[in-house]
Amino acid sequence: MRYLSLILLLVPTLAKSANNTQLAKVEPRVAVDQVGYLTGHQKVAIVVGLTEPATFVVKRLPGGERVFEGRTQMKATPREDLLAGADVSHADFSAVKSTGRYVVEVAGAAVSVPFDIGPNVYKRAFKLAMRSFYGQRCGTNVDMGPEFPQYRYDACHLKGAYHASSGKTGDHPSVKGWHDAGDYGRYIVNSGLTTGTLLWAWEFYGDKIKAIPLDIPESKNAVPDFLDEIRWNLDWMMTMQDKDGGVFHKQTTERFSGFVMPEKDTMPSVVIGTGSAPFKGTCATGDFAAVMAIASRVYKPYDLKFSAAALAAAEKAWAWAADHPNVTYRNPPGVSTGAYGDPDCSDERMWAAAELWRTTATAKYRDAYLEGSARLEAVMSSPPKAQSWPNVGNMAVWAMALGQPKPGQKELSLAMGGSAAFYGMNLNLPWKISMNPDDYVWGSNSVAANQAMFLLVSHRIMKSTEDGRKMPLDFRQGAAENLHYLLGRNVFSTSWVTHVGTNWFKHPHHRPSGADGIDEPWPGLLSGGPNRRAQDAPMRKLPDGLPPMRMWVDETESYASNENAINWNAALVFVLAGMLN
Ligand code: 9MR
Ligand code: ZN
């Protein structure tokens, strides 16, 4: 007994010293954004593992001509670096401005992978990240050729039916939609923020997005590819609305399939409800209303009929949500796919109100927003939080700000306050990102991306006011810093987007990637990223107790750190779109 408690006492200490040895052993590495840097932006490589300043050179490829020389600056010791527990230095080569391909070499230490500098370096990354949605399509055969010719599957999940928990019986012809993630479920709540984010990307950056073809089956029609792709999911979402306006939470199999191709998952795909009246949920219905309200605006120039149908669906959903202010969802007995259970649906209703106000200018929606806004603002003010599937309050506030000729003072200060805090971190912290140790949750890479989106949206809101235009802050630069982290400037020196950069991760928890017999994974997928809690039971691939940024493994089984998901990819698409020229 005494020994046992002694051992238990020692375990954490042992783990810690083991970690420290491991941390100390990091070979010097030069972590860069493996895609590159925009011409006018700050350009910093993060050097890990140097204990004193060193000389570095920037060489232009292919010849190796030395175009810049500088000295690294120490930023943190392992003790000071709360994110990765490493020696962190910066090599700042912002002065390099000619378009080209380069490497950064640190004397006696290491050399980076090659990267580009130029005015439009993120175009391919944007295309692959967005095209990955095509690779998530349900209900049709998918073929990622010509660039990725063997990546294909046949039409899947064509049969739909009502589950007992929906209060209905019989078939439900529900096709289309995107598979949520590495699994084949389709979930309205997660589709909500995903589809809303993508539609916003279009509203913000449509002019630049338009110029980038996605090579999808609809590429030859008159509608921009980006909107064709989103429509695939909107059409499915429409089928999830009940006659009374409420929207069912999800359509999945009762449990997750094995690692098989989608067409080999032959369990019935069922519409799942809350298990008792009213069967639909408020979070799903609120998200749906918000998304359809945006869709009504976005598709108006291309498809009047659909635009009107989307608005009617949104208004009906809104009315249902107003009558059922907080019907929450938990998996009914026998169902073990993702829950996306959110205990508080007020932010979803607010987002719906704000988007409907923006689309229709009808006073009742503005009034509904104003009624709930004090609570929302209290939640949103310091510390600022990135939007996430259960937390769409930011979208509500921003929609309100963007929907008026001049944003209200409150919305403005919320957006600016949050961004100033994030931006300050981007400027000052050793890793130049706006991530706190607490931000390393399941899907932390989407926190980085959504914080970047926060900065980009605030940038737009700021520039819409006269005072804001005069402000010298460049929130776009802050957003780019978080993007650099995702594209390789992290402790692993790994790009967290498949087929993007040089040293990109190889083993997403993604069923088609695991089951297709091809070595390399599907393109354009963002890894969920480090998760400070080792939540990947029972396989337990994640280490214990390392600093948060190191809690990631490139292993298929690590679903809690290395899955892909549509909401995470959507935030990435938004940020990449914001960086297009
Ligand atoms: O992204 C979700 C994360 O916030 C939750 O902590 C986690 C556990 O509930 O679930 C994540 O979502 C998963 C969903 O439930 C099912 N499809 C895969 C999603 C990504 O891992
Ligand atoms: Zn499917």
CA-closest candidate to residue 556, choices 570, 568, 569, 539: 539
Domain assignment of residue 7, yes or no: no
Helix (H, G, I), strand (E, B) or coil at 462: helix
Ligand 1 centroid – CA 511 distance (Å): 15
Q: What domain count does the chain have?
A: 1
Structure tokens at 375: 């609570």
Q: Mapped to the 3 state alphabet, what secondary structure does 310-361 carry?
A: HHHHHHHHHHHHHHCCCCCCCCCCCCCCCCCCCCCCHHHHHHHHHHHHHHHC
Distances (CA, A) of 87 to 91, 110, 322, 422, 425: 13, 14, 53, 23, 18
Task: Identify which ligand lies nearest to the alpha carbon of 176.
Answer: 2
Q: Quick one: 363 exposed, middle or buried, by C-beta within 10 A (0-12, 13-18, 19+)? A: exposed
Domain assignment of residue 41, yes or no: yes
User: Cα Rg for the chain, rounded, in angstroms?
Assistant: 24
Domain assignment of residue 97, yes or no: yes
- Distance separating alpha carbons of residues 87 and 214, to the nearest angstrom: 41
Give pLDDT tens digits for 455-510.
Answer: 999 999 988 888 888 887 889 999 999 999 999 999 999 999 999 999 999 999 99
Nearest atom of ligand 1 to the alpha carbon of 183: 17
Domain assignment of residue 154, yes or no: no
As a whole number of angstroms, the longest Cα–Cα distance in the chain is 76
| Phi and psi at residue 328, to the nearest 5° | -95, 170
pLDDT, residue 26, reads 66
Nearest atom of ligand 1 to the alpha carbon of 341: 9
Domain assignment of residue 42, yes or no: yes
* Mutational pocket test of ligand 1: of 331, 442, 562, the residue with most ligand atoms within 8 Å of the beta carbon: 442
Q: Are 465 and 411 in contact (CB under 8 A)?
A: no
The structure tokens 């940024």 sit at: 549
The structure tokens 């931000």 sit at: 439
Query: Domain range for residue 58?
Result: 28-118
CA-closest candidate to residue 282, choices 247, 244, 251, 315: 247
Q: Is the peptide bond before 383 cis (omega within 30 degrees of 0)?
A: yes
Among protein residues, the one with the nearest Cα to ligand 1's atom 3 is: 442
Domain assignment of residue 567, yes or no: no
Domain assignment of residue 564, yes or no: no
As beta bridge partners, residue 59 has 66, 103
Structure tokens at 288: 């749906």
Helix (H, G, I), strand (E, B) or coil at 406: coil
Give pLDDT tens digits for 170-226.
Answer: 999 889 999 999 999 999 999 999 999 999 999 999 999 999 999 999 999 999 999
CA-closest candidate to residue 419, choices 470, 329, 482: 482
H helix runs in 70-122, sequence order: none
Ligand 1 centroid – CA 565 distance (Å): 8
CATH code at 107?
2.60.40.10
- To the nearest 10 degrees (0 to 180), the angle between helices 444-463 and 393-402 is 20
Cα torsion angle, 515, 518, 519, 523, sign = negative
Q: Are 274 and 285 in contact (CB under 8 A)?
A: no
Give pLDDT tens digits for 15-57.
Answer: 333 344 455 456 789 999 999 999 999 999 999 999 999 999 9
Domain assignment of residue 108, yes or no: yes
Q: Quick check: 227 pLDDT over 60? A: yes
pLDDT, residue 522, reads 98
Nearest atom of ligand 1 to the alpha carbon of 509: 21
- Distance separating alpha carbons of residues 541 and 524, to the nearest angstrom: 23
Task: Identify which ligand lies nearest to the alpha carbon of 264.
Answer: 2
- Distance separating alpha carbons of residues 569 and 217, to the nearest angstrom: 21
Q: Mapped to the 3 state alphabet, what secondary structure does 79-124 carry?
A: CCCCCCCCCEEEEECCCCCCCEEEEEEECCCCECCCEEEECCCCHH
* pTM, rounded to two decimals: 0.95
Among protein residues, the one with the nearest Cα to ligand 1's atom 10 is: 338
Give pLDDT tens digits for 329-344.
Answer: 999 999 999 999 999 9
Nearest atom of ligand 1 to the alpha carbon of 388: 4
